[in-house]
Amino acid sequence: MTVGEVWKYLDGVAPKKYAEGFDNVGLLIGDENAEVTGVCCCLDITHSVINEAVEKGANLIVTHHPVIFDALKNIPAWSPVAALMRRDIAVIAMHTNFDIAEGGVNDTLIELLEWERGDTLEVTQSDGRGFGAVCDIQLEFTPQMLAEYCKEKLFLGGVRYSRISRSVKRVAVCCGAGIDRTIMQLARERGCDAIISGDIKHNFWIEAENCGLTLIDAGHFGTEKAAAHKLAKLVTAEFSSVPVFSAECEADPCGYV
């Protein structure tokens, strides 16, 4: 089992061609011909994740967020990239291509919320794939009730929500930093009462208040942390010859008081 074989399999699950133009996915560091001794799956590559990979004998990390995103002009000693190269650890990134994949990050978020996936909110591919999904939920929520529900189902330390009271029955679910001008417009057009996402900017809270939408900010980490577990599950199902695990050290980098 080589690094290249793992990448080939993952590219079949969530093809690189589906990644957004700004993204950087695929084999980012390492030799595709190297034999894999173990696979560590994570949301973000930190020094703690690298240390855990080394301790558990993994020489391949499959990450959701690319450890190399923009072009590098230098690699400082403190950089995870430098540590990965020193320790000869390969890296495969599965980012926006995995966000929109069937059974990918957004679908996993909906599963955790125990809802049924409806139509794609923003179609970006010719086969109907894209970002976000519309879910018609069985129970009627207030914004606070919906926030408390998300906090419980996603095991979160805190959730931001729109404080204006209104009824919520149809919800757009967009993992990560999923809200932009297009998503807001599409949610209104599709008759959504609320959007669940993360990293929501101030101007969208004001726009939502003015147009009657409820926003739930469950955090970038909170809406995507299950990506590592899903990646580990996929790789484990395909490759049984080496240990595959989700990094146990990962935690929300933000604290709550």
Q: Give the model's pLDDT for residue 165.
A: 87
Q: Give the model's pLDDT for residue 257.
A: 81
pLDDT digits (tens, 9 = 90+) for 165-186: 899 999 999 999 999 999 999 9
Please name the residues in contact with 193: beta carbons below 8 A apart, sequence gap of 6 or more: 166, 167, 168, 169, 170, 171, 213, 214
Helix axes 3-13, 226-238, angle to 10 degrees: 110
The Cα 241–Cα 69 span in angstroms is 31
Neighbours of 170 (CB within 10 A): 15
* Residue segments in the chain with a per-residue pLDDT below the cut of 50: none
Q: Give the model's pLDDT for residue 256.
A: 82
The Cα 114–Cα 150 span in angstroms is 10
pLDDT digits (tens, 9 = 90+) for 93-123: 999 999 999 999 999 999 999 999 999 999 9
